[in-house]
Amino acid sequence: MSGQRRILLIVGGGIAAYKSCELVRLLAKADVAVTCVLTDAGAEFVTPMTLATLSGNRVHTSLWDAGEEAEIGHIQLSRAADLVVVCPATADLLAKMAHGLASDLATTLLLATDTPVLAVPAMNVRMWQHPATQRNLATLRGDGVTVMEPDEGPMACGEYGPGRLPEPEQIAAEIARLLGRVVADPLAGQPDFAPAAPRPLNGRHLLVTAGPTHEAIDPVRFIANRSSGRQGFAIAAAAADAGARVTLVAGPVSLSTPPGVDRVDVESASEMQAAVHAALPADAAVMVAAVADWRPAAAATAKLPKSGIADSGIPLAANPDILAELARDPQRPRLLVGFAAETGDPLASATEKRIRKGADWIVANDVSGDVMGGSANQVHLVTDSGVEDWPHLPKEEVARRLVARIAEALATDD
């Protein structure tokens, strides 16, 4: 066995298809064997000859090639690879994948495969933002497909926004990550498919909440807090690096999605609660979000006038406690981890919160300094066997340690 990694690359029909040629070149240079499938629409943008020359392999285009069916069989073609990559994944291809259509060679392979699938979408910004596309993406992510976030910027069609295909180097790095390999020298610009760190969360699903919530007062005002989302995003990134499928339910933050993480953006606590439920089942949940405790009892539909409010106040209603309700849910994750941001005595109230909310662990931190929005964190891990004090660490290191502990706990529970 040579140990050479094999990719089945499905090239859909979009102007970004030309970038898939560069992707093939990068992968071939890194000694990855690439077999290309070109859809009819894809063939309008790049030719089979280009992909065959760059990959050094025959390019497959039709389901109805009798010789090919006898020779290889499309089922085998879909399973011989270590990873199936759909790039560019057009809105049409994503919709067909989400609905299980098998109308041509590419979609038939995608339905027949038992190999992990990476979709790299590229399309017009309105098509990307359309609820139908977003629904299809949620379905695909639920089915275990990894979906890369598109880049934002000027588009070939003249509009501006998210929908651009990421650069081939980024896609190659994501492929390397999914193959369980690392980019050894990112500065060199070439993915190095050298053996990587162990991936103790392979096959697990982790749910992470992060960031603040915004609770609308009226169409222009809201109640919020100072959470930056950085600790939660770092945990999601560390869990993805450890091999987990990660769903990150994020409140309004200005952070980019870590590679390999499925992100669901929400605004309010109620939306966060719904997104958490939609993401179940999960092996573990880490609730890092700083959920607003209250919301205005009724958000005004028109902007409130200045006069009157200061005297009468804004009536508030209590928000659902997402962590406590998850602890009582029939689909409760095996390991439930809460965060407790405190300004008083962090340990006493974290110990009490662990029991009251039904969490397995509470990560307690003192937020009286610049922790919210800062880059470091000093935490204490409160479990049923006591309290561990961790040193003052960068948030990324807190994340790595916590993810390592989660992997250990899930392994011993098996």
- In the bound state with ligand CTP, the residue whose beta carbon lies nearer, of 54 and 341, is 341
Binding residue (CB under 6 A) for ligand CTP from 10, 339, 371, 379:
339
Tokens of 44: 């309008």
**Residue 373 buriedness (CB in 10 A; 0-12 / 13-18 / 19+):** exposed
Binding residue (CB under 6 A) for ligand CTP from 262, 321, 366, 396:
321
Binding residue (CB under 6 A) for ligand CTP from 51, 81, 291, 367:
291
User: Which letter does DSSP use for residue 60 in this model?
Assistant: B
* Residues within window 9-48 making contact with ligand CTP, judged by CB under 6 A: none
Query: Which residues, other chains included, contact 71 with Cβ-Cβ below 8 Å and sequence gap of 6+?
Result: none
- In the bound state with ligand CTP, the residue whose beta carbon lies nearer, of 98 and 234, is 234
Q: How far is the CB of 301 from ligand CTP (least distance, A)?
A: 24
Candidates 78-86, 176-184, 284-292, 296-304; binding stretch for ligand CTP (CB under 6 A): 284-292
CA distance 36 to 15: 17
Tokens of 142: 């639920």
CB 238 within 8 Å of CB 396: yes
- In the bound state with ligand CTP, the residue whose beta carbon lies nearer, of 345 and 388, is 345
* Residues within window 196-225 making contact with ligand CTP, judged by CB under 6 A: 209
Q: How far is the CB of 287 from ligand CTP (least distance, A)?
A: 4
36 carries an active-site annotation: no
φ/ψ (deg, to 5) at 152? -110, 140
CA distance 55 to 38: 13
Q: How many residues bind ligand CTP (CB under 6 A)?
A: 15
Q: How far is the CB of 320 from ligand CTP (least distance, A)?
A: 6
Task: Provide DSSP, 318-373.
Answer: EPP-HHHHHHHSTT--SEEEEEEEESS-HHHHHHHHHHHHT-SEEEEEE-SSSTTT
- In the bound state with ligand CTP, the residue whose beta carbon lies nearer, of 201 and 323, is 323
Q: Helix 17-29 crosses helix 168-178 at what angle (to 10 degrees)?
A: 50
Q: How far is the CB of 377 from ligand CTP (least distance, A)?
A: 14
CA distance 396 to 374: 12
Q: Catalogue the active-site residues.
A: 157
Footprint on this chain of ligand CTP (rule: CB under 6 A): 209, 269, 287, 289, 291, 293, 319, 321-323, 338-341, 353
